[in-house]
Each structure stands twice: as C-alpha cells, then as structure tokens.
Amino acid sequence: MTVLARVASRYLLPLFLLMAIAPSAQGAEVLASWNEGEAKQSIVRFVESVSKEGSTDFVPVPERIAVFDNDGTLWSEQPLYFQLLFALDRVKAMAPQHPEWKDKEPFASLLKGDIKTALSGGEPAIVDIVMTTHSGMTTVEFDRIVREWITTAKHPKTGRLYTEMVYQPMLELLTYLRANGFKTFIVSGGGIDFMRPWTEKVYGIPPEQVVGSSGKTKFEMRDGTPVLMRLPEINFIDDKAGKPVGIHQHIGRRPIAAFGNSDGDLQMLQWTCAGPGPRFCLYVHHTDAEREWAYDRQSSIGRLDKGLDAAADSGWTVVDMKKDWNRVFAFQK
C-alpha cells in the first residue's frame, strides 16, 4: 500500500463514513422529544431518502413541500379551538358597544358564561360568533388585536400562554425538515388572519406560508388612506375537501409530506399521498390523558375516526402521543 493510500485509509475513509451517517445522527439529535420507535424511524427514513443525493427517491429542494394542520397537530385544541376562545373573549370586550346582545343568541348565553348553551346551535352559532367578532375593522386593526391577545391570554386549564401549548416534538420536526431542504406550510381550518400574526415567531413559518379559512375583505379609502375592511362574510373554508383546494390555490405544488390529527385533515393526506414518487403522511393520535388529552373517534373536537381507518389501510404513520413522545410541551419535564 502506498503512503497516499495509507493516508486515505486512515483519515479520508472515516470522514466519508461520518458523512454517510450524518443525516441519521442529525435526525436522532434534532428529534430529541421523540422516543425511539417506528414513528420516529419512519420520519427519518423518509427524510433521508428524499434528501440524499443519488438516492432513487431523491426529491429536488423546490419540490420538498410539507404541510401541517395547526389545531391538534402543532398546538393543542382542547377544551375548545383556541381561535374560538379568542372569539369568546372578543364578545366580552365588544359587549358594551352591543347592548342588544343581552337578548340575542348565541351572545346572550356567552355573556352569562353559559358556553354550552351558546354553542348548542352548532356550526351556524360558531360562524355567527366568529364573523361578528372578526369583522367591522381593518386588517391592520385585527392584526393588532390578535397580537395583543396571543401575548397575554392564557389557557383555561393549564394557565399557560396559548403559544406555550405547542407540541415540542412537532417544533423539532419542523426544524428537522427545514434543515433537510423542506419548505413548511400551515394548512389549517383556522382563520388565516388569526394565525399569520404569530406563526413565524412560534413555528418559524412566515405569514406567506400559512393557508387557512378566510372572511371577505373590501378595499376602501378612509380619510385619504387605503385600507382593507373585514366583512362579516365567509370567503373560503380551508377544511376537509377544502384543504387540497387551498393548497392548490396558495402553494401551487402538491406536497410530498402531510401532517394532521383529525378527519378534517383526511382529504389533505389523501391528496398528498396520491401523488407520484415518495410520499409521507402522518396522523397525530391524542392518547395521553395525563400530559394532554385522550380523544379520537367520538370527540366533537378533533374527531379522528375515518382518518384512523384510512391510516391503517394506507400504511400511514400514526403517532401515539403517550408512547412516541417523551415530552409533549416544552414546559413539561
């Protein structure tokens, strides 16, 4: 063996081996809140296969699109969707300007603290509450109100800021994906203008990468200043079959990875995994009643019924929160 060959064998070969295993080591380090198991391994296998040059499953960086539901996937959604809790707080704040609400449902019940009766009207009641509390102002004014609320309001059970109710394992997953060339998007049934003011700070996802439901807006001139006024009318519902439509309209590329937690995400996962080439779909299954909540098929919030069956039939990854996560929230030890 020549001197050059001996040097290569001693120094370069270990370097090449280290480079070869680097993605796996990175995955193990970054996904620190994930227990070792099939769920974590499936993520790492997929990311390595699509991001490694020369791999038969290699996907160019521009096509590495990953979409995430928000409620119940990136942050908690119990005991009520957080945007609905925001709307309920807005009812209280706006009540002095609306004395007629004392005799008008669902607002009358809300002002009495009877949330159950107020929401017994189902989706129409919820739409009424949200449309009323989210309109009649400019987009700039609404942005300010959301920012103030999200930095001060606290969860009714934990007493934590809502932005502390985000899942640490999912934050690590977002970071891991971006470190491997993925562009991450939120695709949520929640309001697009409710999420955009804070998603970049909390998730590292900028406002232009947020897809959500929206109300109609109207351009107006006010005292010589152009503004966008929020109207009490629905523009688009980004839920269920609306999610693939929202992705098509806002992103323009079919994702290669999709992450959800409920039946409302089913069509998004189906559409994502029906595309050509390597695909990855994952459901977060809420199984931890001690550290979070346990619910699935019968829940009125975040129901996971048809999606759970589809995941089993399609071979999608299902994360058992109790088993697969060693920590749910960053504030938990």
DSSP-assigned states of every residue in 71-112: BTTTB---SS-HHHHHHHHHHHHHGGG-GGGGGSTTHHHHHT
Distance CA 148, CA 285 (A): 31
**pLDDT band (50, 70, 90) for residue 333:** confident
* Tokens linked to 184: 């991450």
Q: Is residue 144 domain-resident?
A: no
Amino acid 5: pLDDT: 46
Q: Please count the structural domains in the chain.
A: 1
Q: Which CATH number is 310's domain given? A: 3.40.50.1000
Range 209-237 average pLDDT: 97
Among the ranges given (4-13, 145-154, 159-168, 307-316), the one the predictor scored with the smallest mean pLDDT:
4-13
Domain holding 60, by residue range, is 32-78+162-324
Q: Of how many residues is the chain composed? A: 333
What mean pLDDT is predicted for residues 11-24? 41
Peptide bond connecting 79 to the previous residue in cis, omega within 30 degrees of 0: yes
Could you tell me the pTM of the whole model?
0.91
**What pLDDT is attached to residue 318?**
98
Q: Is the distance from CB of 213 to CB of 194 less than 8 angstroms?
A: no
Check pLDDT > 70 for residue 9. Answer: no
Task: Kindly indicate the confidence band of residue 24, based on its pLDDT and cuts at 50, 70 and 90.
Answer: very low
Pairing of strands 317-320, 280-285: parallel
The mean pLDDT value of the chain amounts to 93
Asked whether residue 175 is assigned to any structural domain, the reply reads yes
Cβ–Cβ < 8 Å for 150, 198: yes
- For 227-247, what is the mean pLDDT? 98
Q: What is the DSSP letter of 35?
A: P
Check residue 16 and give its pLDDT.
41
* Lateral strand order in the sheet of 183-191: 225-236, 210-222, 183-191, 65-68, 257-260, 280-285, 317-320
Whether residue 136 is predicted with pLDDT greater than 50 in this model: the reply is yes
Q: In the chain, what percentage of residues exceed pLDDT 70? A: 92
pLDDT at 7: 40
- The pLDDT score that the predictor gives to residue 29 is 73
Q: Is there a domain that residue 26 lies in?
A: no
pLDDT at 213 exceeding the cut of 60: yes
Report if residue 247 sits inside a domain. yes
Least confident of 5-9, 28-32, 100-104, 312-316: 5-9
Task: Specify if 200 maps to a domain.
Answer: yes
Within-domain flag for 46 = yes
> Is 83 contained in some domain?
no
- CA dist 333 and 286 (Å) reads 19
| Domain membership flag for residue 142 | no
pLDDT at residue 20 greater than cutoff 80: no
- The residue-averaged pLDDT of 116-128 equals 92
- Kindly provide the b/e burial profile for residues 206-216, where b requires at least 16 CB atoms within 10 angstroms of the residue's own CB: eeebbbbbbbe
Burial code (b: 16+ CB inside 10 Å, e: under 16) for 55-81 equals eeeebeeebbbbbbbbbbbbbbbbebb
The pLDDT value given to residue 229: 98
To the nearest 10 degrees (0 to 180), the angle between helices 82-94 and 123-133 is 60
